[in-house]
Structure 1
């Protein structure tokens, strides 16, 4: 407000000086041009002009200053109030209150953009904090089982209840490996959910990625006696993808399908190309299946439809599908699952947008 008053005062002083210097001289010149040469008349006219000029200038300055002051006060309040509210909101966010109300209105598009940017920042911080809190709670729950197992075995060996033999050490190594895998997956899940994986998207042939992933998984399928079938189209459009990350998704889906398909079962990997400017990669099995009310839950962190199976049948960390879906969404794609229930098998579908109409022969 002080700055506004200084501007108004400087403008008023400049106006007065300019008027005093210019107006009398102009009046005198115009009076001379009328041909009036009577000293008395000229003196009276000049005195009348000076008097009326001073009164008019004074009234005009009072009116102008009053109007300018009111307008300035209005503008200052329009500008200052949102800034003060933003400052209060910043203090609240700094104190950890991310649900603070951010002013949406303001004088000018710049303040509106600032408010929108601040609101977006607060929402991102709130989401990050919620993710951190939830992940810490999940982590505390998830590490309890392997730690309890390790503690039980150590206590049992100390009390000579558990023999210090190869099977006991094997169980303990499995629990250590589980904790190590959990730590790695947890770090990647956090990066995936924060969209900080640093994807490098290039035009990629999805058929080649699928073929490589199937080739890498095939030995495990052969060992268990599960048939792994690959169905590729004659041609397939390119997708904008990070090939390594898409391979990671497919490896996780193939590993899940193998764990939940009994010996003698069949897992089919197929590509359906190009409709609606997208390529879909489907992994279909005739294994355990998923209950309909659990279809959305399986993508949540640490969710397992059968916790006992995860512990006793080589289950993963419970983060693989969470990471896989986050990677798919960072590709502007999707990862979904369909199943009619237990014992009916399941179908995971990865959808990726195409990047150009060019088509490549399938492998």
Structure 2
């Protein structure tokens, strides 16, 4: 493995540290994580060697990044600019800059533009970005690519189940280098199943938690939803329920297009895309494969590639499903961070061998 000190990185929009943690596992020295959300300070500084800076990337002075890069043999600017119009980062940035609801659509992709500006001002040797696939269809993405003058660039839509992440999740992945040609391979790693990742966690009931891990905690279920999940089959839909358990939206023609709502996962397949609302049984296919509850916060984190010991909040802080769910659902999967880190480390190794 390449010595970590030789690649120094800054993680923009670092969130709970999934990308930082993955890059560190690949041997990259992530010195700074930057995010507008103060809740990201604990997971970044508790689980990695990086320092945290609460800042708005839209107004960040490039000298902050340049100071971190000073003296480094190779530099990496990494990040996932939030592009969901209702993400925590986007809401906060819009409020700060006085952007109203009517302008939200046009501003939705602006953080990608700010990322590009920081690249041009700091000129890192290496770049990696991951984002939602619809970004590829936006004019701002072409502008981003056009701004990478002097870089060798490759990007593609990656199915995360092919890199060993137990999720059916597609992400736009980009890597760029000043050192030489670089490419993203066609990944075909063995698929991990839901059972292989969370199958050994202790059984808990809806509304309960593991006394030895307070994040292995499941949300409560109403009496109706408890009956619903008891009638739900792994991989099935609400159509498996008796008619009297179906809600009014299910019997409408429009409801037929959402079969995975109130669904159970399957043990022998990857799970669904983990979202910020993954702790709620009615928010997607987030029902546990065999226990009558939604997946726990810990299970959601592990399906994102985080180790079982990963700390998202201080020990003395009460567990909030909304807060921890947001940190987990918005995170770059650790597995993806590790894969990207491995690519970059190998790329730099080949470059140094030639020079």
Q: What TM-score, normalized to structure 2?
A: 0.22
Higher relative contact order (CA 8 A, sep 6+): 2
Q: Larger Rg: 1 or 2?
A: 1
Q: What TM-score, normalized to structure 1?
A: 0.22
